[in-house]
Amino acid sequence: MGQMKTVMLLAALTALFMGLGYMLGGSGGALIALLISGGMNLFAIWNADKMVLRMHNAREVDAQSAPEFVGLVKTLAQRAGLPMPKVFIIDTDAPNAFATGRNPENAAVAATTGLLRILDRDEIEAVMAHELGHVKNRDTLLMTVTATLAGAISMLGNFALFFGGNNRNPLAIIAAVIVAPLAAMLVQMAISRTREYGADRAGAEISGKPMKLASALQKLAAGASRIPNPYAQKNPAAAQLYIVAPLIGGGMDNLFSTHPNPENRVAALGRIAQEMGQAARPQSINEAAQRGRTSALDPLKRRR
């Protein structure tokens, strides 16, 4: 159902883009819009991962610099039947993670030092399995194309505003400048929310620990609401990358949110746990604090 919804939303976004091109320039305008979109998509597909990692000042780690973390990702990749992705750590207290790359052979996964500090090992495993779920579902490519199409629609809207001419229908100009970009943004966010649910299921299947992912989501959402994410603040368009919304109010399951409500995701993971014959109760944040557990993968923890 999630895959079908994604296909329908992506088709709607493409139709909106082509329709806007036709409205502004007839069949020739639609063709020009298609060519522009194709060029932008090709550039984004081949360069988006490098741009995203550079934007976050992400540093690549390996078996020597972060043996436990890299070993964990390697085990999960083997379990998922995926090539080993590149592994990055981002130095920020804001707890979050994301995946990027145009295909499984060129994928990268990244986690912040804030995430590695507040989650226990099983929760980190569940989170990275979620990110590999995005890679397995090819969501990183899909979201790159979606973001590029949405950006191209906004660009066409600007063309209509500045180059529409005096003979254009004012209603068409309003539709091009305001309605079409807004509709594109809503479709883009709907696709993002849908793919998070899909990655939650894929991650639960890869790790075999759906309720560990549920407890991780609760901790990450609570942390993200308290600790500013400097990278997302500078570039809000990157918000859809993360496992939880990095900006306050971004995960409330409304038309303008990039992520589903964490409570709804936890409920869905509970149903997945029951399908797998497991108890459907996540460890609460308070329970974790009472146990005093810290991550075995904390990159800043002093080793004796």
Per-residue model confidence as pLDDT tens digits over 41-58? 677 778 878 888 998 999
> Once rounded to an integer, what is the mean pLDDT over residues 77-94?
97
* Mean of pLDDT over the chain: 82
Res. 248: pLDDT tops 80: no
Chain-centre distance for alpha carbon 175: 29
Own/partner long-range contacts of 275-282 (Cβ < 8 Å, ≥24 apart): 276/204, 276/208, 276/210, 278/210, 278/211, 279/211, 280/211, 281/211, 282/211, 282/212, 282/214, 282/215, 282/218
Question: Does 130 carry a binding-site annotation?
Answer: yes
56 known member of a binding site: no
pLDDT for residue 290: 40
Binning pLDDT at 50, 70 and 90, where does residue 187 land?
confident
Residue 244 has pLDDT above 80, yes or no: yes
CB 207 within 8 A of CB 125: yes
Select from 76, 100, 78 the least CA-distant residue to 88. 100
Mean pLDDT of 7-26: 73
**Per-residue confidence (pLDDT) for residue 275, from 0 to 100:** 95
Residues annotated as part of the active site = 131
Tokens of 259: 């992520």
Amino acid 5: pLDDT: 66
pLDDT > 90 fraction of the chain, expressed in percent and rounded = 44
pLDDT band of 288, cuts 50, 70, 90: very low
Q: Is 259 annotated as a binding residue?
A: no
What mean pLDDT comes out for the span 150-171? 64
Q: Which residue has the higher pLDDT, 140 or 77?
A: 77
| Of the candidates 153, 182, 162, the residue with the CA atom closest to the CA atom of residue 34 | 153
